[in-house]
Amino acid sequence: MADAGSWLPTLKTDTPEAGYQLALKLSRMAVKLTQPSAEVRDELRTQYERDSGELIEIAHVVAVNFQTVAAANDYWRSARA
């Protein structure tokens, strides 16, 4: 049963773009749960946002999560184009 108070009530999204945003959220949440301090994460951000290798790796994580979200939505095949 989905929980409206959850940060992840469902994997369903109305559009592919919303699904991509959810993939970003899924990617960030693992970092947040491992490093709960917003202050430390802000410090780290100043580093990785200027490090091409880390930015590429972030894109990799998002790609894996987007696979999951896209499959969960049957690739939005039934959405009207």
The size of the interface with its own copies (CB under 8 A), counted in residues, is: 59
Query: For residues 61 and 27, is the Cβ–Cβ distance under 8 A?
Result: yes
CA angle, residues 69, 10, 31, in degrees to nearest 5: 65
Place of tokens 């499959």: 71
Interface with its own copies, residue 25, by CB under 8 A = no
Interface with its own copies, residue 58, by CB under 8 A = yes
Q: Which residues bind its own copies (CB under 8 A)?
A: 1-3, 6-12, 14-17, 20, 24, 26-31, 33-35, 40, 44-45, 47-68, 70-72, 75-77, 79-81
